[in-house]
Amino acid sequence: MKRRRFLQHSLQAAAAATLAMSPQLSLSLSRRPDYDYILTAEEKPLSILPNTTSPALAFNGEFPAPVIRARQGEKLRVHFTNKLSQETTIHWHGIRLDNAMDGVPYLTQLPVKPGASFDYEFVCPDAGTFWYHPHMHSVEQLGKGLVGALIVEEKNKPAFDADVIVGFKDWRLNKDGSFKTLSEPRHAARAGTLGNVATVNGELLPEIEVPANATVRVRLLNMDNSRQFAISLGEHLGQDNASIIAIDAMPVPNKALDIHQLGVGMRLDLGLHTPADAGVEIPIYDVKGRFYQKVCSLRTTAPIRSTAPPAIPTLPPNPVSEPDVSKAETHRFVFEWAGAMTPVSASGHTHHEFWTINRRAWAGMHSANLPEPLAELELGKSYIFELHNATPHGHPIHLHGLIFKVLSSDKKNITPFFTDTILLEKNERATIAFVADNPGGWMYHCHVIEHMKTGLMGYIRIS
């Protein structure tokens, strides 16, 4: 019995004795246990650096957070309790779900107060690799550990011998395990404040076991606040043995992996043929210029067959609507640096605004103030967004609740593909298109958390 399943059954047994006291909890626990979860956000000392503890925040008191698994086309139910001292929410990154379940405070739901609970219930229409995180106090809550993987399994599961998760998360820690300042204005106004302790699945340079002579699916998730990765396997496997099979959960025709840019919030699925012998290391690198920096490794265990492994499967497409670009309405968005002027309140508190979308910095929202949307769209129509990154820094631009098609770029050759996040290079112009087939207000922002919090965020409304 897997540890997650054991915990679920243990929780069910414990809850059976308290049904009369906890009717909402019992409802959540009475459902099918395979795909239903109880999730808490809480303060938890974690050992990240050796021989130290860090005052982290964790889902269910652990890092990595519980891997949530759902089935394509079926409802996922998560009973969430906030045990933090702050308000929070959960956003289900990349899922085309009902707007009320999107986890954006005041736009889609009220914040979950300390000690309170909220039931998230939604259908996952697309299969693939997703993740979840708060959308409130994001610099601190994500920076201290509140991130987790969400895997939606295909209706007809592809035939892989193993399926592994590789989750990237940096931390900003002093030698004694205490947290450094999570955001520094001089870095927030540039590429973002980077961590100094890099972990994969919560470990320093881990080796992840995979069977030898096997066909393996590797799911890479960039769940960091700021860092961009350039993923490569070097020349260890050879291009015939490593294929990109999905980008941001959307299947693509299998293609050889060379170097793939993985911005904040983005995901990459690889299909691998592992070597025939046990004990072989397969390094995963982050490429910086001419330097290949190892971030983790796969390590083969005993081979599972004596013959050649089966071909790397091609994933079935997700049911995403094809935009009609011939009839699409065009909207233009310019992402810019706002300059060095820092607004100061009457009480002397600063509110940094370094970034703008169409010359407007995100001012935040609360129960009495919902800013105007960046665009008003009509349900069912096709739209083209022309994007211009007029800054010297990269921006992973993420759109909630929808999947869009990347059509073109003036910086790279594009074979059109579907995604929920586009990584815009400095001074890049790109064109995306989508069908506005999901009603509601949907956040539209850079996923470098400090960029988002200092202006580079807004929302669109589909009605």
Judgement on whether residues 101 and 144 belong to the same structural domain of the protein = yes
What is residue 339's predicted lDDT score, i.e. its pLDDT?
Answer: 63
Domain with 174 in it: what CATH number? Answer: 2.60.40.420
- The answer to whether residue 310 sits within a structural domain is no
Judgement on whether residues 7 and 138 belong to the same structural domain of the protein = yes
Judgement on whether residues 223 and 100 belong to the same structural domain of the protein = no
**Omega into 64 within 30° of 0, i.e. cis?**
yes
Q: pLDDT grade, residue 437 (50/70/90)?
A: very high
- The answer to whether residue 70 sits within a structural domain is yes
End-to-end, the C-alpha distance of the chain in Å comes to 46
Judgement on whether residues 198 and 92 belong to the same structural domain of the protein = no
- The answer to whether residue 319 sits within a structural domain is no
What is residue 259's predicted lDDT score, i.e. its pLDDT?
Answer: 94
Domain count, the chain: 3
Judgement on whether residues 54 and 178 belong to the same structural domain of the protein = no
% of the chain exceeding 90 in pLDDT: 83
**Tens digits of residue pLDDT in 443-460:** 999 999 999 999 999 999
Judgement on whether residues 139 and 232 belong to the same structural domain of the protein = no
End position of a domain, from candidates 153, 185, 201? 153
**Tens digits of residue pLDDT in 264-307:** 999 999 999 999 999 999 999 999 988 999 999 999 999 999 99
End position of a domain, from candidates 153, 179, 211? 153
Q: Look at residues 83, 132, 143, 137 and name the one whose alpha carbon lies nearest to residue 105.
A: 137
* Location of structure tokens 């993923």: 231
Judgement on whether residues 8 and 148 belong to the same structural domain of the protein = yes
Q: pLDDT grade, residue 31 (50/70/90)?
A: very low
Q: Are the C-beta atoms of residues 424 and 410 closer than 8 Å to each other? A: no
End position of a domain, from candidates 103, 134, 153? 153
Task: Label residues 287-315 b or e (16+ Cβ within 10 Å = b).
Answer: beeeebeebbbbbbeebeeeeebeebbeb
**Tens digits of residue pLDDT in 192-238:** 999 999 999 999 999 999 999 999 999 999 999 999 999 999 877 76
Q: What DSSP designation does 289 have? A: T
**Tens digits of residue pLDDT in 327-357:** 999 999 999 987 655 555 556 555 566 899 9
Q: What DSSP designation does 311 have? A: P
Distance CA 404, CA 452 (A): 20
- The answer to whether residue 312 sits within a structural domain is no
What is residue 3's predicted lDDT score, i.e. its pLDDT?
Answer: 42
Q: Look at residues 278, 249, 203 and name the one whose alpha carbon lies nearest to residue 48.
A: 203
Average pLDDT over the chain, rounded to an integer: 90
Judgement on whether residues 97 and 171 belong to the same structural domain of the protein = no
What is residue 5's predicted lDDT score, i.e. its pLDDT?
Answer: 43
**Tens digits of residue pLDDT in 146-156:** 999 999 999 98
Judgement on whether residues 256 and 395 belong to the same structural domain of the protein = no
Judgement on whether residues 265 and 383 belong to the same structural domain of the protein = no
Give me 91's structure tokens. 């956003």
Judgement on whether residues 329 and 458 belong to the same structural domain of the protein = yes
- The answer to whether residue 395 sits within a structural domain is yes
User: Quick one: average pLDDT of 85-110?
Assistant: 98
What is residue 1's predicted lDDT score, i.e. its pLDDT?
Answer: 34
Distance CA 356, CA 362 (A): 7
Q: pLDDT grade, residue 367 (50/70/90)?
A: confident
Backbone dihedral angles phi then psi of residue 450, each to the nearest 5 degrees: -70, -35
% of the chain exceeding 70 in pLDDT: 89
- The answer to whether residue 58 sits within a structural domain is yes
**Tens digits of residue pLDDT in 141-190:** 999 999 999 999 999 889 999 999 999 999 999 999 999 999 999 999 89
- The answer to whether residue 120 sits within a structural domain is yes
- The answer to whether residue 320 sits within a structural domain is no
Pairing of strands 162-171, 197-200: antiparallel
State the pTM of this model: 0.89
Judgement on whether residues 110 and 166 belong to the same structural domain of the protein = no
Containing domain of residue 377, as a range?
325-462
